[in-house]
Amino acid sequence: MKTFIYIFRCIIIVVLVVVMNSCSKRVVDDSISVLLEEQALSNAVPLEAHDVWYPFDSIYSNRFYVYADTILVVENKKAAGNFLDFYNIRNRNLIARKLPFGEGPGELLFAQMIYEGNVMRVTDYINRRLYNVEIDKVLSNSNYNPELASFSKSIIVTSAPVSYGDSILCINPFHYVHQQAGIDQQPPRIIAMTDKNPNPSIPMDFDYMTVNVGQGLLGANACLGKIFFASFDISSIEFYNSDLKLVKNVLGPVMLPETKLSISIDNNGKHDVCYKGMDQPEAYTGFTIFNDKLYFIYTGRSIIWDNVKDYYSYILCFDWNGNFLKSYSAPVRINTLSVSVSEPNVFYATIKDEENNPKLIKLTPTNTGE
């Protein structure tokens, strides 16, 4: 009987892997697919939320990040005049303001940010610039100007690119697979722009224009030679080597339904693909990095956007080899994540309050023995 159960379980796993690979079939023969079971969620460490200080009277704050438990980084809306504010949490004093908005040299027109611990990756999609802001240098040098890299204007960039050695990596927006809609486009997932080849040739003669769907989160560690892509709408994290070859695909822990699509034909005979409806599957929505560990914000449900705050978040921790390490369950929906350096299993997060304004909270284990 035990043998039968074991064989049956193996068959189920194989079927799930085949079905879930609709997000991305194997790109190279030697890549492996690993199924993360739902126990990763049921065994998650429960967290509870606590109020902490932040400049709640600022009407232009958008998101909050906490560095080393002592520095608050505020991501601002454009009306604030500058993108980033830095505060000393202990005395609540403003330390610095960086990356002004405007049309002048070194100013931002439209910005989004990925927080990776000591480094913040800021992308200006209009000016096609990538800023790597090192917090330690902001604190030690009042005249510090963040490292700036420009990227190609001829390549469609829909998700935040990342610096990788002398390259800038971005997600190929034409890589998209949707079984129900019959879409199977699998050019290379990741595009590399270098000084020698700033405008790599990217084929665009696809039947389906998928720039508005199927994107995700991109991260890289040049020292380790590791890169990942985490999907927004399919429970999949793809891990790549320094040659941009897929080596591991972590599937699960929840097998989500395929997205609902609206497909129309334009004047050139191309199929424009967009999301349809207010309810869509949601997988990975954000991440941060601490001590060479990856912490992903995960939903694992189909959500209704009108009630988005009702869908609470999980935190899934991996190493750069794609090995699952630990999970946490938050009592709220998380928009950003920072990791405490002084307390184990403790996080800081941005949420939305009752009036839909951004709020900073601290997340600690409900079981102090954990």
Domains (range + CATH), the chain: 2-45+55-334 (2.120.10)
Q: Over range 276-303, report the average pLDDT.
A: 97
pLDDT at residue 26 tops 60: no
* 307-354 pLDDT per residue, tens: 999 999 999 999 999 999 999 999 999 999 999 999 999 999 999 999
pLDDT tier, 262 (very low <50, low <70, confident <90, very high otherwise): very high
pLDDT confidence of residue 24: 39
Residues 131 and 122: beta-carbon distance below 8 Å: yes
* 179-218 pLDDT per residue, tens: 999 999 999 999 999 999 999 988 878 999 999 998 999 9
Q: Which pTM value belongs to this model? A: 0.91
pLDDT tier, 223 (very low <50, low <70, confident <90, very high otherwise): very high
pLDDT at residue 50 tops 60: yes
What is the chain's mean pLDDT, rounded?
Answer: 91
pLDDT confidence of residue 30: 82
pLDDT at residue 153 tops 70: yes
Q: Over range 77-85, report the average pLDDT.
A: 97
pLDDT tier, 290 (very low <50, low <70, confident <90, very high otherwise): very high
Q: Over range 266-289, report the average pLDDT.
A: 95
pLDDT at residue 156 tops 80: yes
Q: Over range 34-58, report the average pLDDT.
A: 97
Q: Over range 168-185, report the average pLDDT.
A: 96
pLDDT at residue 280 tops 60: yes
pLDDT confidence of residue 29: 53
pLDDT tier, 106 (very low <50, low <70, confident <90, very high otherwise): confident
Instruction: Give percent of the chain above pLDDT 70.
Output: 91
pLDDT confidence of residue 185: 96
